[in-house]
Amino acid sequence: MLKTSIILGSAAAAVAVICAEGTTADMMCTDPAVLDTSKTCTGAACAAVDFGTTDAMCCMAAPAVMATCAEGTATDMKCATDTVLDTSQKCAAAACAAVDFGDKTKACCKDAAVVTPAAGMATCAEGTATDMKCATGTVLDTSQKCAAAACAAGDFGDKTKVCCMEPEVPNTGAVCAASTTDDALKCTATQDVATDKKCVADPCVAKDFGEEGRCCKAKAPVMAACKEGDTADMKCKSPAVFDKSKKCAGAACAAADFGDKTKMCCMEKAPKDSGAASLLPNFVLAAAGLMAWY
């Protein structure tokens, strides 16, 4: 009987699990109590009875000092794939432990989708410490925001971190220019050369040209100079007048280019200078008065 008791006791000890909160409220410690990762649950699996106030098996009064979440070098001290470190949170004790990391249900990790710029989040800026810099092969991305009001080590590292990215590779290709002798290095009849673009490399090659090439763009439409026609629909309607400085919408002028002042080839008639005209009668009268005096 004694031997059986010893065996059963040993089995119970072997299946005890370290306290870890669940996703439902009854599997969590009630504020201000916090999880005590130094304890084990009462059974082979944690249950609601292990959680709640500071009197519960897995809960304790919050320590005076709780470490700010920061990943370690060990795998079990990092947030899982598709999650990121939440530097706004605290570890369960004065020193962070493996239980604080893992999936998004853990104290120090959150869903990567949650990391979006918001008010109060600092703009990414490297610090002087090594863990506050982007890793070799990556560069600082100043367009992003840190996870909290102050940047932390968790914001830096490889290209998966919010403040770091792969460097942009400068385009060292030759400026796009069509060949005068090689038809493979020309744009099609309906295209113009995009002289503001660069080829993939230097010198340019055939794939830089043609319908899909980066060096070719659609030709600018040919627009005819405005010219009135003989029919009424090809003329401007009074009070609008013809504007010869403009161009029609297409290669040939059409009725749609004419009409009122809003049309392509028409404009508002300029008002006459009434001031100059009004001076003429006064000048004539003055001249007549002088003649009479003489």
Residues 141 and 153 placed together within one structural domain of the fold: yes
Task: Pick the last residue of a domain from 125, 149, 167.
Answer: 167
Look up tokens 């000048």; give the residue. Answer: 283
Query: Using one digit for the tens of pLDDT, what is the confidence trace for 108-167?
Result: 988 876 444 455 688 899 988 889 999 998 999 888 888 888 899 999 999 889 899 988
Residue 206's CB is within 10 A of a number of other CB atoms, namely 13
Q: What angle do CA 163, 166, 167 make, to 5 degrees?
A: 105
Distance of CA 194 to the CA centre of its chain: 27
| Tally of domains in the chain | 3
Give the whole-angstrom CA distance, residue 206 versus residue 187. Answer: 10
**With pLDDT > 70 as the criterion, what percentage of the chain qualifies?**
84
pLDDT value at 235 more than 90: yes
* Same-domain status, 216 and 229: no
Confidence of residue 1 (pLDDT cuts 50, 70, 90): very low
d(CA 197, CA 209): 11
Name the residue among 34, 146, 127 with its Cα closest to residue 85: 146
pLDDT digits (tens, 9 = 90+) for 49-83: 999 998 999 998 877 677 888 888 888 899 888 78
Look at the pTM and tell me if it is higher than 0.75.
no
Residues 225 and 215 in one domain: no
Range of the domain at 214: 170-220
**What are the phi and psi torsion angles at 155 (to 5°)?**
-85, -10
- C-alpha span between 171 and 257 (Å, rounded): 44
**pLDDT tens digits for range 190-229:** 888 998 888 888 889 988 888 778 899 888 888 889 999 8
Query: What are 269-284's pLDDT values in tens digits?
Result: 887 755 544 555 555 5
Residue 28 forms part of a structural domain: no
185 in any annotated domain: yes
The answer as to whether 144 is a domain residue is: yes
In a domain, 211, yes or no: yes
**162 and 200, same domain (yes or no):** no
